[in-house]
Amino acid sequence: MVEIDVGLVRRLVGEQFPQWRELPVRPVDNDGWDNRTFRLGERMSVRLPSADGYSAAVEKEQRWLPVLAPRLPLPIPTPIGRGVPSDSFSRPWSIYGWIDGDPTRHDTVDDLTAFGTDLADFLTALWTVDATDGPAPGAHNFHRGGSLDVYDAQTRAAVDRLGDTVDGASALDVWESALAAKWTGVPVWLHGDFGNGNLLTRDGRLSAVIDFGTSAVGDPACDLVIAWTFLDAPAHAAFADRLGGADSPMWARARGWAIWKALIVTAGIAGTNSPGLGRSPGVIEAVIADHRDASPNRR
């Protein structure tokens, strides 16, 4: 296995983009799971898929990010170069324009309620972009935007594994309600991993959205999961109020996406990322509580 490090990035840039071979390369402070990211000079970043299963995102982002960017209210990554598989690295990879901003944490957001509104405005804009010929959900994006049925067995296995450490009956009630809330809408663009790890802030406000590797055209319910993983109650309410296009069935499916991920991470199902998602924020408990007492303004 090739180690993805500064030396590899320097070699790849030198081989395929010799005009930038003299620029410094350094790792970023907050790296991702699907890709390894490095700073190239002051104005660019290099992203290399960390496994073969993430490689399909390269072509997708190269094709679609330039289409999405002018139609969205915040900056998103701009592809500058596309690296091809070689003897040095067997996967495609990308060079993007660098976007300044701080990692999104509660201590980098000045007003979480306003932040929730900004999140909703971004998603509303994304949903209105023409989705013609956009990529349908599938293995390339781990079925985000598709049917939750694909994760039914995994979700039930996680509940069984967790035993009495969680309220399994209530968790399954959330899950089964999500499965029953079938999506029948017109496909729209979705980000697919709309969490704080893929958001940037500047001066305490949402300033950019990055990493569209799990994007697709389909059911956008998965993009609402941030309501439980990052927002507090007032911000959650503001987010929900602003999302006029999100009806009760969509919120039911969103709870399904949230509890699926929280359960499998907490259960330690092999191959999952986001360690601690189900423990630290109390996502499982929050989703169950929200399912029991859904906000009346979710039409």
Whether 250 is covered by a domain: the verdict is: yes
Residues 23 and 149 in one domain: no
Question: What is the model's pLDDT at position 299?
Answer: 38
**Tens-digit pLDDT profile for residues 14-26:** 999 999 999 999 9
Whether 1 is covered by a domain: the verdict is: no
**Residue in 7, 35, 29 with CA at minimum distance from that of residue 95:** 35
DSSP secondary structure code for residue 165 in this structure: G
Q: How large is the C-alpha radius of gyration of the chain?
A: 19
Residues 184 and 205 in one domain: yes
Question: What is the model's pLDDT at position 153?
Answer: 97
Q: Per-residue DSSP letters for 91-136?
A: S-EEEEE----EE--GGG-S-HHHHHHHHHHHHHHHHHS--TTPPP
Look-up of token digits 């030198």: 14
Q: What is the mean pLDDT of residues 225-252?
A: 95
Whether 268 is covered by a domain: the verdict is: yes
Within 8 A by CB and 6+ apart from 153, the residues are none
Q: What's the pLDDT band for 273 if we cut at 50, 70, 90?
A: low
Q: What's the pLDDT band for 58 if we cut at 50, 70, 90?
A: very high
Residues 156 and 22 in one domain: no
**Tens-digit pLDDT profile for residues 80-137:** 999 999 999 999 999 999 999 999 999 999 999 999 999 999 999 999 999 999 999 9
Half-sphere exposure of 96 (CA within 13 A, CB side): 26
Residues 197 and 266 in one domain: yes
Q: How far apart are CA 12 and CA 45, in angstroms?
A: 13
- 64: which 2 tokens? 């679609």
Question: What is the model's pLDDT at position 294?
Answer: 76
Whether 297 is covered by a domain: the verdict is: no
Residues 49 and 190 in one domain: no
Number of domains the chain is built from: 2
Residues 140 and 253 in one domain: yes
Question: What is the model's pLDDT at position 24?
Answer: 98
Angle between helices 168-180 and 248-267 (to 10 degrees): 140
**Tens-digit pLDDT profile for residues 164-217:** 999 999 999 999 999 999 999 999 999 999 999 999 999 999 999 999 999 999
Q: Which domain holds residue 91?
A: 6-97
Q: What's the pLDDT band for 298 if we cut at 50, 70, 90?
A: very low
11 has pLDDT over 70: yes
Question: What is the model's pLDDT at position 29?
Answer: 81
Which amino acid type is present at position 208?
A: A
Within 8 A by CB and 6+ apart from 200, the residues are 99, 100, 101, 102, 103, 104, 206, 207, 208, 209, 210
Q: How far is CA 103 from CA 116, 196, 208, in A?
A: 16, 8, 10
Mean pLDDT of the chain: 93
Last residue of a domain, one of 82, 97, 112: 97
Q: Percent of the chain beyond pLDDT 70?
A: 94
Last residue of a domain, one of 97, 120, 146: 97
Within 8 A by CB and 6+ apart from 169, the residues are none
Residues 28 and 135 in one domain: no
278 has pLDDT over 50: no
